[in-house]
Structure 1
Amino acid sequence: MIAPAIPENEKKRLKALKEYNLLDTLPESDLDGITKLVASICEVPISLVSLLDTDRNFLKSHYGVEDTESPRDISFCGHTIIDESPIFTIKDARKDIRFEDNPIVTERNVVFYAGVPLINKAGYALGTLCVFDTKPRELNKKQEEALLALSEQVLNLFEVRKQNTKLKRLQKKLKNKNVELKKFAGVVSHDMKMPLANMIVTSDILKAKYSNVIDDKGKEYLNYLKHSSFTLSDYITGLLAHYESDNVASRNSEKFDIHDLLEDIVDLLKINIDCEINFPEENIEIQCNRAALEQIFLNLVGNSIKYNDKEKIVINITFKEKEDFYRFKISDNGIGIPEDKQKEVFKLFSTIGSVDRNGNKGNGIGLSTVKNLVNNLGGKISIKSKVGESTVISFTVAKNNGKPKASV
C-alpha cells in the first residue's frame, strides 16, 4: 500500500476547508440526496461526499456505509485530490500497487473506485464525490458526465452553506451591536433628561427673579432657551419610546374593551382645543398587548391633533374583528401627507417638513415607533392621504393565537 501524498498547498487547503464549517457537522438532506442519486446512476452500492481533514477523511454524506470518517492515510480520496484527472478511477484495486493491501480492499472487499475532486473557486481541493463497488468495472460516458455534473452541485451547496454561515454571523453581530446601541441610547437619553429639566426650571427662575434687570431681548433669549429645551426633551422622550418599543411589544396580552382604551388615550392627551373624536360604534372586548396598542394610539391620535390646521378637528376611529387579527382605522381632516412621502414617514428620523399647529417641526420618531410596534404585534400598517384634506392610517394587530393571514 502507498499512502497518499500531501498536497504542496496543504496549509492553505486546510484553511480553505475549515472556512466552510462542514467538518463534524450533521448529515444534510440535499447532500444525502446527491449521494443516493449518484449511487443509482453509477449502479454502485456505495457513494460518498468526503472532506480531507489533517489526518482523516470525514464523510459529510455517506450512502451504503455507516462510517462517518476513516484514516486519511488509507483513503482513496487522498489520492484523488492530488491527481490531475477530472475523475480519478481505479478499475481493480487488487491489482494496483497503491491499494492491493489497503484495509479498505482486503477487509471490506472494495475493488472499484471513481472519485471527482471537489475544487472550490480558489483552486483548493476540499474533498471528493466518489463511488465504490465490490467488483472490477468502469463507468460509461453518461455515468462519468453525471458524476462530474453532480460534483458541481455539491460545490454549489458548499458555497451556499458558507454564505449562509457568514450571513448568520453578520446578523448575530448586527443584533449584538443593535442591543449595545439601544442600551447606549437609553442611558444617554435618561442622563440628558435631568440637565434639560434643570435648564427649563433655571430659565423660569431667571425670568422671575431678575425680570427688572433683564431687557426684552434677554427675556426673548430665555424663552428661546426654554423652548429649545422642551423640544430636545420631546426628542429624547421619543427616542426612549422608540428603543423601548420592542420591550413594550413583548409584554403579555390582556383582555380589555376598545372604548375604555380610547377614553384613557383621550385623558392622557389632555385636549384643550375644539376636537371631535368618534369611537367605533360597537364596544368590543379584545385580547392583545394593551400597553403596545395604547402607545400606537397615543402617537396616531396625537399626530391627528397636532398636524391639523382646521378650526374643528374631526377624528374617526373604526374597528373590525377578523378571524386572526384586529383591524383599526384612524382618519382625520388634517393637513395630509404628500404621496411621495407616505412610505418615508415610517422611517426613523424621516419627516415631511411640515410644522404642527404650534409651529414646531416633527422629529421623525413617532411613526417609526408605531410601525415597529405594529410589526412586533404581527400586523401591518398603511397610509392613504390627501394634502390639505385628510389622512387615513390603517393597521392590523394579530390576535393572541398568531399572526394575521391578511392585512390592510
Structure 2
Amino acid sequence: MITPQIPKNEKKRLEAVKSYSLLDTLPEEDFDNITKLTSSICQTPIALITLLDTKRNFLKSHYGLDFNQSPREISFCGHAIVSKEPIFIIEDATKDNRFCDNPLISEFNVSFYAGVPLINPDGYALGTLCIYDTVPRQLTQQQKDTLIILAKQVVNLFELRLKNNLLSNAFDLLEERHNSLNSFAGKVSHDLKSPLANITSLSQLFKDELKENYPELDLQYLDYIEESADTLRAYIDGILTHYKAEALLQDKKKKTELATIFNNIKHILSLTDQQFILQKNTILEEINASAITQIILNLVDNAFKYNTKKEAYVSINYSTSKTHHIFSVTDNGTGIETQKQDQLFDLFNTAHEADKYGNKGTGIGLYTVKTLVEKLGGEVKISSTSGLGTTFTFSVLK
C-alpha cells in the first residue's frame, strides 16, 4: 500500500476545508440525495461525499456505509485530490500496488473506486464525490460525465452553506451592534436630558432674578440658551423613539381591531371624541399592531402639533387591497406647501419652522414613519392643500 501524497498547498487547503464548517456535522438531506442519486446512476453499492481533514477522511454523506470517518492514510480519496485528472478511477484495486494490501480491501471487499475531486472556486481540493464497488468494473462515459456534474453540485452546496454562514454571522454582528447602539442611545438620552433640564431650569431662575433686580436688561441670550436646550432635548427624544420603533418590527403579526389601536393612541395623546375620529372600525387580520400603532401615533401627534386652528381634529380611515392594508390619517390643519412635500420624509427635514407651541421639529418622526412602513412592505404618501389640511396614506403588506 502506498500512502497518499500531501498536497503542496495543504495548509491553505485545510483552512479552506474548515471554512465551510462542515466537519463533524450531522447528515443533511441535500447531500444524502446526491449520494443516493450517484449510487443509482453508477450502479454501485457505496457513494460518499468526503472531506479530507488533517488525519482523517470525514464522510459528510455516506450511502451504503454505517460510519462517517476513516484514517486519511488509507483513503482512496487522498490519492484522488492530488490527481490531475477530472476523475480518479481504480478499476481493480486488488491489482494496483497502491491499494492491493489496503485494509479497506480486506475489510470491506473493495475492488473498484472512482472519485471526483471537490474543487472550490479558489482551486482547493476539499474532498471527493466518490463511489465504491465490490467487483472490478468500468464506468460508461455518461456515468463519468454525470459524476463530474454531480460533484460540481456538491461544491455549489458547499458554497451556499458558506455564504449562508457568512450572512448569518453578519446578521448576528449587526444585531449585536444594533443592541449596543440602542443601549447607548438610551443611556446617552438619560444622561443628557437631566443636565439639559437643569440648564433650562437654571436659565429660567436666572431670568426671573434678573427681571426683578434689573428690569432694563435684555434677556434674549438666555432665551437662546433655553431654545437650544429644548431643541437638543427634542433631538434626543426623537433618536431614542426611532431606535425603539425599529424594535417593534420584531413583533409577531396577529388579529387586531382597528378600534383598539385607535383607543390606545387616543389615550396616549389625551384626545377627545371631537378631536380624534375613527371613520370605521374593522378587524385587521395578520398585522403588526405595535408597529402600526407607532406609525399612526407619530402622524397624529404631528398633525396636532402643527394645527393652529381652534377646532383641530384628525380622522383615521382604513381600506384594503388584495395584498396590503391601507391606512389614512387626515387633519384639518394649515397644509404643507407642495415644494416641501418631496423631502418631507428625509431625516432631519421639517416642513415648518416651529410647531404651535414654538418648538422646532427634528424631522426624525416622519423619517421613522417611512422607515417602518417600508420595512413592513408598504409605502407612505402625502396629499395636502394649503389652508385645508393634509392626508397621509400608508400601506403595509398583509
Which range, TM-score by smaller chain?
0.7 to 0.9
Distance across 2 between alignment mates of 1:46 and 1:301: 68
Amino acid of the residue matched to residue 88 of structure 1? Answer: F
Counterpart residue number, 2:264: 261
Contact 2:118 2:151 (C-alpha < 8 Å) held by counterparts: yes
Deviations 1:221-280 (A, max 9, x none): 111111111111122122222233356777899997466435424526xx9xxx963512
Contact 2:245 2:368 (C-alpha < 8 Å) held by counterparts: yes
Question: Is 1:50 paired with 2:53?
Answer: no
Counterpart residue number, 1:172: 172
CA 1:315–1:193 in 2, change beyond 3 Å: closer, same or farther?
Answer: same
5+ residue gaps, structure 1: 397-405
Counterpart residue number, 1:86: 86
Counterpart residue number, 2:136: 136
Distance across 2 between alignment mates of 1:343 and 1:101: 79
Amino acid of the residue matched to residue 364 of structure 1? Answer: G
The 5 Å alignment of 1:143-158 reads: 143-158=143-158
Deviations 1:139-183 (A, max 9, x none): 121111111122122112211211111111111111111111111
CA 1:80–1:251 in 2, change beyond 3 Å: closer, same or farther?
Answer: closer
Counterpart residue number, 2:236: 236
Deviations 1:31-50 (A, max 9, x none): 22222222222222211110
Contact 2:120 2:126 (C-alpha < 8 Å) held by counterparts: yes
How many pairs are equivalent?
A: 389
CA 1:248–1:43 in 2, change beyond 3 Å: closer, same or farther?
Answer: closer
5+ residue gaps, structure 2: none
Q: Percent identity?
A: 44
Distance across 2 between alignment mates of 1:344 and 1:64: 66
Distance across 2 between alignment mates of 1:69 and 1:341: 66
Distance across 1 between alignment mates of 2:250 and 2:160: 34
Counterpart residue number, 1:199: 199
Counterpart residue number, 1:280: 278
Q: Considering only aligned residues, what root-mean-square deviation do their CA atoms show, in Å?
A: 3.6
Deviations 1:45-72 (A, max 9, x none): 2111100001110011122222211111
Amino acid of the residue matched to residue 213 of structure 1? Answer: Y
Note the C-alpha offset of 1:352: 4.9
Amino acid of the residue matched to residue 58 of structure 1? Answer: F
Contact 1:257 1:284 (C-alpha < 8 Å) held by counterparts: no
CA 1:121–1:282 in 2, change beyond 3 Å: closer, same or farther?
Answer: closer
CA 1:361–1:210 in 2, change beyond 3 Å: closer, same or farther?
Answer: closer
Contact 2:199 2:226 (C-alpha < 8 Å) held by counterparts: yes
Question: Is 1:39 paired with 2:52?
Answer: no
Distance across 2 between alignment mates of 1:329 and 1:171: 34
Counterpart residue number, 2:64: 64
Q: State the TM-score, normalizing by the size of structure 1.
A: 0.82
Q: Secondary structure at the match of 2:233?
A: helix
Question: Is 1:29 paired with 2:29?
Answer: yes
CA 1:320–1:127 in 2, change beyond 3 Å: closer, same or farther?
Answer: same
Q: State the TM-score, normalizing by the size of structure 2.
A: 0.84
Distance across 2 between alignment mates of 1:21 and 1:57: 15
Distance across 2 between alignment mates of 1:291 and 1:13: 50
The 5 Å alignment of 1:283-322 reads: 295-308=294-307, 313-319=312-318
CA 1:2–1:381 in 2, change beyond 3 Å: closer, same or farther?
Answer: same
